[in-house]
Structure 1
Amino acid sequence: MRLVKAELSAAAQLAGYRNIKAPFDGVVTSRFVSPGALVGSGKEPLLKLAREDKLRLVVAIPSKHADALSANTKASFTVNGAPGKKFPVSFSRSSRALDPELRSLMVEFDYDNSANILSAGAYAQVHLQLRRNQPTLKVPASSIITTPTQTLIAKVKSGKIQMIPITTGISKDGMIEIFGNLDSGDQVVLKGNSTLKNGMAIEAVNAKKQLNN
């Protein structure tokens, strides 16, 4: 009797394999097998399922902005299919490590799509409100000099030009965050250009144009 029950239980378990149950409600977007095909326990998927009520936005944050991201970062995105409309998202998780190839931090945001407004798989333009943990220096965008090999700021000291290599960060309202051998209060040329050279004599016309933090 026990043997019969065991055989019935095994048969019921095998019969259950004929039904595929998804862990969430969604829509089948791809099918990799045909009806009647023989399938086994391999790693190849049978179906691809998309969840529609909750979408995931994946963003690659460049390394220079990574430390300005936190769980409180506010973000929104736009898509070509809904021009002029912004969709707010909430921070979900981050990789906590830079991708070795992209040199970027992979971050995920969740969007509540219960109204079924958007479709999965679309590309988006993302707007992030990043904030540094520590104050940083900012200069007008016109002060930055870009060459084929480096980015520079023309610093004015004792009436002469000093070309300072920098890297740039967050840009907002015409001001750009910079990192380099500069201090708050240093004077810089407001309208930088490639004709400026180290040691060139210059007269400061407006001493109020200084680095801001």
Structure 2
Amino acid sequence: MKKLLLISAVFLILIVTACNEETEQKSEKIIPVKVFTIKLNNIENYVKATGTITGGEDVVLYSKVSERITNISVKPGDKAAKGQTLAVQYNAIFKQSVEAAETGVKSAQAQFNLIQQEFARMQKLYDQKAISNQQFDQTKTQYESSELGLQAAKVQLQQAKEQYANSFITAPFSGTIASVFVEQNQMAAAGLPIVQLINSGEMKAKVKIPSTEIEGIHKGQSVNVEFPSVPNKIYEGTVTEIDHAVDPISKNLQVEVELKKPDNLLKSGMFGEFLIKNAVKENSIIIPEIAIQSRTEVKIDRETGLQKSFKKYFVFVIKDGKANLLEIKPGISSDGRIEIISGLNVGDTVVVVGQNIVKTGDKVKIID
């Protein structure tokens, strides 16, 4: 019996020892991680915005009369000089009206000249009391009526000329034909769009910037612009205007950007992505952004009794072969890199792969 108890005790000791060894092996499990060693570096922060570019001068020319298109002298892509005729509407009737009005002015002018001479003669006779008041008043009335007739004839001529001129669609400035909306012999009612003209020598865009990110943006600041329709090319721009008031609904501020050297690849109406540099930090602690973990905490405001949530940020740092969780304060970020304002020092080794599985106190093995 004693022998049996002894054997059982030895067996139990062996089992306990084995379990302890297994537990120790588990507790001493080493986790492989990749790390980043901190050195001072520089970082730039960009505000990203989107917008549509327009020509510095961009106009749609409309028909001012209701007549048929008799001539279109341009097509999209053509260059046009200021004052150049781009399209013509049927205007024979308008031309006849001008000629008739010119004849009317000549006739009214000739009649006025005769009556003016007669009025001057009657004025002298009246001053000499050689004619009656009735005779003078009659001549004066004829003179005034003739003068009004001449003025009316001139107004009619001016209106006829304007109507005739309105049948010609002319370029108000030098530029490029962006669109032609009508065809030869098409009937064009007054108000119908005929041609779109742009001046591609100057391209601008108005973009919306969140008011929380406007700090650091100023007039004259450089902007990088990319267009999905023009791949693999970056255009340079400049901030030319910044609104003084924030939109009360969107909380955005409007910023105007002018492209420095637009080319023929850019067209008015193109959608672009704008990168505006609003901060530069030199000789700062910069780490890969993927190293950071965040946690949201909730506290009760003692004064209002309301809940307030805020985020805390952490990274794992390797010290003496073990992982240590440190709270940090992040700053600006760009292209997967982020500035650390406090919590880390130069030379610290930050976990960038394995940070989601490692825990404080875990032994780690740094791998390449």
TM-score where L is the length of structure 2: 0.38
2:251 pairs, out of 92, 103, 109, with: 103
Find out whether 1:39 has 2:190 as its counterpart.
yes
Of Structure 1 and Structure 2, which has the larger fraction of its residues in strand? 2
Equivalent position of 2:343 in the other structure: 187
Equivalent position of 1:210 in the other structure: none
Q: Do the aligned partners of 2:180 and 2:196 also contact (CA within 8 Å) in 1? A: yes
Q: Do the aligned partners of 2:224 and 2:274 also contact (CA within 8 Å) in 1? A: yes
1:88: how far off? Answer: 0.9
Structure-2 change in CA distance of 1:15 and 1:104 (3 Å): same
> In the TM superposition, what are the counterparts of 1:59-208 in structure 2 within 5 Å?
59-112=207-260, 115-131=263-279, 140=287, 141=289, 142-143=291-292, 145=294, 151-153=311-313, 171=334, 174-176=337-339, 186-187=342-343
2:337 partner amino acid:
G
Of Structure 1 and Structure 2, which has the larger fraction of its residues in helix? 2
1:5: how far off? Answer: 2.3
**Which of 1 and 2 has greater Rg?**
2
Identity of counterpart residues, as a percentage? Answer: 16
Structure-2 change in CA distance of 1:146 and 1:35 (3 Å): farther
1:37 partner amino acid:
A
What is the rounded CA distance, in whole Å, between the counterparts of 1:72 and 1:107 in structure 2?
12
TM-score where L is the length of structure 1: 0.58
Q: Do the aligned partners of 2:243 and 2:254 also contact (CA within 8 Å) in 1? A: yes
1:29 partner amino acid:
S
- CA RMSD across the alignment: 4.6
Q: Do the aligned partners of 1:62 and 1:103 also contact (CA within 8 Å) in 2? A: yes
Residue deviations 1:184-213 (CA, integer Å, cap 9, x gap): 6x537x77x899xxxxxx89xxxxxxxxxx
Find out whether 1:10 has 2:170 as its counterpart.
no
Structure-2 change in CA distance of 1:75 and 1:114 (3 Å): closer
Q: Do the aligned partners of 1:27 and 1:52 also contact (CA within 8 Å) in 2? A: no
In the comparison of the two structures, how many residue pairs are matched?
A: 182
1:55: how far off? Answer: 1.9
Structure-2 change in CA distance of 1:35 and 1:170 (3 Å): farther
Equivalent position of 2:177 in the other structure: 27
What stretches of structure 2 of length at least 5 have no aligned partner? 1-108, 110-149, 297-308, 316-324, 345-349, 362-368
Residue deviations 1:82-110 (CA, integer Å, cap 9, x gap): 43322111222233333334322222212
Higher RCO (CA-CA < 8 Å; seq separation 6+): 2
1:119: how far off? Answer: 2.7
1:32: how far off? Answer: 8.7
